[in-house]
């Protein structure tokens, strides 16, 4: 996490103000190893994220493939016991990143953000927390789940279920996408005072536009909402 949060021109060391030197919760000094080296807080800000929705025909294929591959919440491990009836109430196919062009080699088509490789099956409440960067998965630490929101679902320290990351399955989730989400979660929760958390519950008939415009970072949030609704599936890069 330090490598994400700080820009260093050389090696650095962490000095604990606690009585021992183990990295436990507490106050620390981060210092360069020599006078010529410098350390500064990164100026990179996390993206403004909105709840990923499934509203198009292409999304239907995305949902179907993620459900077939996972069959359970890959975060909590809770299985969908109604899957044999094709009932998925309470389970969402969550997008990891909303602006990537990914080739799904399983069917030979470039499905953009709706590639199965950009999805994870989650319980609906866990999905909302994932979209809000409340937790993330670090593929460089054994796919360990880190909760930034107080571990309200008891998932902190769990390991992402192996069913979605089988290296022999062409539909398996991409490490690059998980790595991107983890970076954004660290920036969102640990950089400075942190980034604002946005309201995502807009029941039918509510004044969604009014609530967004009266909330924090209205311009950024509106831009993110418009992108989510108007440009979904438009490839902006290649992973």
pLDDT tens for 105-162 read 444 444 578 899 999 999 999 999 999 899 999 999 999 999 998 898 999 999 999 9
**Any idea where the domains of the chain sit in the sequence?**
2-41, 57-196
Summarize pLDDT for 61-102 with one digit per residue, the tens.
999 999 999 999 999 999 999 999 999 999 999 999 876 555
With helix as H, strand as E and coil as C, how does the chain read? CHHHHEEECCCEEEEECCCCCCCCCCCEEEEECCCCCCEEECCCCCCCCCCCCCCCHHHHHHHHHHHHHHCECCCCCCECCCHHHCCCCCEEEEECCCCCECEECCCCEECHHHCHHHEEEEEHHHHHHHHCCCEEEEHHHCCEEEECCCCCCCCCCCECCHHHCCCCCCCCCCHHHHHHHHHHHHHHHHCCCCCCCCCCCCCCCCCHHHHHHHCCCHHHHHHHHHHHHHCCCCCCCEC
């Amino acid at each position: 996490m330090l490598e994400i949060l700080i820009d260093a021109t050389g090696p650095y060391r962490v000095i604990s103000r606690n009585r021992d030197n183990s990295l436990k919760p507490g106050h620390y000094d981060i210092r360069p190893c020599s006078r010529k080296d410098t350390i500064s807080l990164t100026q990179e800000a996390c993206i403004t994220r909105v709840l990923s929705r499934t509203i198009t025909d292409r999304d239907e294929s995305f949902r179907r493939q993620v459900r077939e591959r996972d069959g359970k919440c890959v975060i909590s491990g809770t299985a969908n016991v109604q899957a044999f009836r094709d009932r998925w109430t309470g389970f969402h196919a969550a997008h990891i990143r909303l602006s990537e062009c990914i080739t799904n080699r399983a069917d030979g088509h470039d499905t953009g953000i709706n590639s199965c490789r950009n999805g994870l099956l989650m319980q609906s409440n866990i999905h909302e927390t994932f979209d809000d960067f409340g937790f993330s998965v670090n593929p460089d630490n054994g796919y360990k789940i880190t909760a930034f929101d107080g571990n309200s679902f008891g998932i902190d320290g769990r390991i992402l279920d192996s069913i979605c990351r089988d290296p022999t399955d062409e539909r398996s989730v991409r490490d690059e996408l998980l790595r991107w989400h983890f970076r954004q979660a660290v920036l969102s929760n640990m950089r400075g005072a942190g980034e604002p958390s946005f309201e995502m519950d807009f029941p039918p008939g509510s004044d969604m536009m009014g609530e967004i415009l009266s909330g924090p970072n209205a311009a950024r949030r509106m831009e993110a909402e418009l992108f989510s609704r108007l440009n979904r599936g438009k490839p902006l890069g290649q992973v």
